Structure 1
Amino acid sequence: MLRGLTVPDVDLVLPVARGFRQPLAAGYRTSLARLITDLVAEGNLRPGMLFKHCQVLQLEDTELLADAALARYDPKLDSVVNINTPEDYAEAHARPPAEITVQCFGALAGDGRRGPRPVRAATLDEAASGVGLTLDRQVVAALNGDQLTRDGQVPLVAGDSVVFSSGDGGSADLRRPR
């Protein structure tokens, strides 16, 4: 039970980071789809209109950071920074990329790339470059154990794990067992 609400009572969980509601980062019950459709049809396009019609659990900074994983990977709640001005954008752009873990397998594990290692990277291309690789037809990436890709523009967040392997067809072994 949180703030007098039981989980079945809550329609959505709304982060309120640094005093600002974060509707794009909220968790919504799928059962709200009909209400949302009706509100949009009526021209009520602001998230606040939805919040008036359902049970909202708002979580402030201290409550959000009570989650150990969130506190570890995003202690400043940077994942929900508002960027509304050119200055906000410049400040966000100047931040260092997130720390992720990179590991190389097979033929790519040579040249000092054996074993997991921390790399700061915002995209898969940057992660590959961080270990001296180029993500191309010869190299495939497994993101967090299950998304196989060669798309270097895939964004990364703190705590992500990337495994690189040669793209010769043996990469399916990189997926986590289900």
Structure 2
Amino acid sequence: MSRLFDEELDGYVALPGVALVMVLISSEDEAAVRPRLHSPVVRPGGHAVILLLVRYGLAVMLALAVLGKARHFTAFRLSLALPWAGAFAIIVVEALAVALALSPAPHLMVGIAATVLGTAFTAVQTYQLTTGGQAVCLCFGAAERVSWRSWSRAAVVLLAGLILLMTQP
């Protein structure tokens, strides 16, 4: 006989802010505990903690980038020589990636989004560095020329995505 419960998760940890409904088929059979929603439920341990740190670290980093670009939108748009809609689309895509990272979406989805963003950002930065481009990077609201420092921030987004992709069960 099954019963709903939400007091104790029998050793399972749910991501903060995620509504989780569990069904306990038998209190003695831990293997019978199954999540009813597609939320990232993980066993506690080093692996889970690392994934959570990567996921939320990625969300914070991208949120800071969104805020920096939005605060200095005109300068950001002009630095890329893009029309208004193109610069706005970049900010929206980053904001959606933040929302995805903070949602109950599986790590795989967040990893795909971060890998795509990180690949695009790293490719643009690499192109600028190898061709001697003098573009200004306004990634976090501060105007600075493209450098290995700006490249490394783009690479961190890519690395976070790859970590989330490669640690799937």
- Compute the TM-score of the two structures, normalised by the length of structure 2: 0.25
Q: Which has the higher helix share?
A: 2
Q: Which has the higher strand share?
A: 1
The structure, 1 or 2, with the larger RCO (C-alpha pairs under 8 Å, 6+ apart) is 2
- Compute the TM-score of the two structures, normalised by the length of structure 1: 0.24
